Amino acid sequence: MTLAHVDPLATHGPLRRGYVGFLRTPPGRWTAINIAARVDPWLLRRTNGRFGMGLMLPSALLETTGAKSGQPRACPVLYFHDGDEVILVGSSFGREKDPAWAHNLRAHPDCVLGEQPFHAAVIEDEAERERIWGLADRVYPGYADYRARTAATGRVIKLFRLTPARP
């Protein structure tokens, strides 16, 4: 299956905007953390990546290698494209700690997203981070909420650039 191209500059209809509005509420956030994150790996595998709890949001199954265990790990993530590269936001719904997959990517940057191999790198340059945040907010406006939550804890959300792996 080919990873669907996600243009962060695309415009979205009222149904998607309503869904995103729900996800930005406390019940929506609770649903995403407690239900979608557990159901999505199964759904994405069973539907070959065509359907997940994200519904209208661009999600795919990220496969990493455990930072400590070295074992394969899989979790659903939102993503979008920046040219030929893919961007992942390590928001963890605005919680105090980075998501486990972010630790895994830093320890083992080779990964698979939507059945395609990539090499991951953290985006460190502040000007580039600002540009990417502008794109990320267009894909999912809830990222602004997550940045506000993490700023209160002192955590800086990591942004990852995935470059297609060479055969």
User: Domain residue spans in the chain?
Assistant: 14-164
Round to whole Å and give the CA distance between 38 and 30: 12
CA distance to 3, 128, 136, 163, 167, per residue, from 82 (Å)? 14, 11, 10, 10, 21
Structure-token pair, residue 65: 């290698």
Instruction: List the chain pLDDT tens, one digit each, 167 residues.
Output: 568 888 899 888 888 888 888 888 899 888 877 877 777 777 777 766 666 655 567 888 899 999 999 999 998 899 999 999 999 999 999 999 999 999 999 999 999 998 899 999 999 999 999 999 999 999 999 999 999 999 999 999 999 999 999 76
Kindly report the CATH number that applies to the domain delimited by 14-164. Answer: 2.30.110.10
- Give the C-alpha separation, 102 to 62, whole Å: 11
Residue type, 2: T
**Helix-, strand-, coil-residue percentages of the chain, each rounded to 5:** 40, 25, 35
pTM of this structure: 0.86
3-state secondary structure at position 82: strand
